[in-house]
Amino acid sequence: MAVATAATIVRTLHRIQRQLTDLRGRLAAGPRQITAGTGRVTAAEAARDQLADELRQAQKLVDTKQLQLRSAEAKIGDLETKRNTAKTNKEYQLLGEQIEADKMAIKVLEDEILESLERVDEVRSRQPAAATLVKETGEKLEAVKRQVAEETVHLEQEVARVSSQLQEAEADLTDALRELYQRVVKHKGEDGMATVDGGCCGGCHQQLTGKMISQLLLGDAVMCRSCGRLLYDPDQAA
């Protein structure tokens, strides 16, 4: 019966662990995409609400100034009535000056109302684009959610399939090697294994001893003394 070399088994385990890392990475990418999309929707909604708030405030300013205008106009009316019944020239003249001053104030107020109305129009004109952005980011997010849900089903099936391959491959390990393998994988995952590379550790590039290189050439797996990775020679993996 042909016995697989340690190098063959570790190479298989390394490949499967890399596959699992890749699959888990793709699984984790889904929720991140959803989070990013949700963030864009939230930002678009905040911008839309901010505009609605600006519009309310601009409208409120117009209302306030229009009230001030009406009350200023009423005051001028009162002053004019008083002037018509003025007892002295001096009183007549003073009331006239006051009326002129109030009329000036009204002109300023009218200009301010025009500016405020322009502001209302300007804010209102930005609302359709803001609403469109909310709709578009929302639709995109829904599409991403559907896509991620589909991919997740597929990826989880793949993880299950590859995990059972991993169990099968792990069963081929000798007890001593299994202990070593489980320790490195627990701490470093797939990065706990590396190929030998020109007499050096493929993980940390530390030069290996002659004895280790001989073991690797025999198809053994050895542990790098520098980084603790489980090393194998891919050329010895039949």
> Within 10 Å of residue 211's Cβ, how many Cβ atoms?
9
Cβ of residue 162: shortest distance to Zn ion, in angstroms? 26
| 104 near Zn ion (CB under 5 A) | no
Interface with Zn ion (CB under 5 A), residue from 55, 201, 208, 222: 201
- In the 8-state DSSP scheme, what is residue 87? S
Q: Which is nearer to Zn ion, 41 or 221 (CB)?
A: 221
Q: What is the C-alpha to C-alpha distance for residues 78 and 47, in angstroms, rounded to an integer?
A: 47
Q: What is the C-alpha to C-alpha distance for residues 134 and 38, in angstroms, rounded to an integer?
A: 11
Interface with Zn ion (CB under 5 A), residue from 20, 224, 230, 237: 224
Q: Which is nearer to Zn ion, 6 or 113 (CB)?
A: 6
Contact range with Zn ion by CB under 5 A, out of 72-80, 115-123, 182-190, 206-214? 206-214
Contact range with Zn ion by CB under 5 A, out of 9-17, 44-52, 122-130, 201-209? 201-209
| 192 near Zn ion (CB under 5 A) | no
Written as one string, the DSSP assignment of 56-74 is HHHHHHHHHHHHHHHHHHH
- In the 8-state DSSP scheme, what is residue 206? P
| 62 near Zn ion (CB under 5 A) | no
| 203 near Zn ion (CB under 5 A) | yes
Contact call for residues 193 and 6 (beta carbons, < 8 A): no
Report phi then psi at 191, rounded to 5. -75, -5
Contact range with Zn ion by CB under 5 A, out of 6-14, 17-25, 122-130, 204-212? 204-212
Q: Select from 234, 179, 165, 203 the least CA-distant residue to 20.
A: 165
Q: Which is nearer to Zn ion, 37 or 203 (CB)?
A: 203
| 226 near Zn ion (CB under 5 A) | yes
What sign does the dihedral 14-19-23-29 (CA atoms) show?
positive
Query: Please, which residues have CB within 8 angstroms of residue 25's CB and are 6 or more apart in sequence?
Result: none
* Exposed / middle / buried, residue 47 (Cβ in 10 Å: 0-12, 13-18, 19+): middle
Q: Which is nearer to Zn ion, 170 or 191 (CB)?
A: 191
Cβ of residue 208: shortest distance to Zn ion, in angstroms? 8
User: Residue count at the site for Zn ion (CB under 5 A)?
Assistant: 8
Interface with Zn ion (CB under 5 A), residue from 204, 217, 218, 238: 204
| 227 near Zn ion (CB under 5 A) | yes
| 191 near Zn ion (CB under 5 A) | no
DSSP β-bridge partners for residue 193: 230
Return residues touching Zn ion (CB under 5 A): 201, 203-204, 206, 224, 226-227, 229
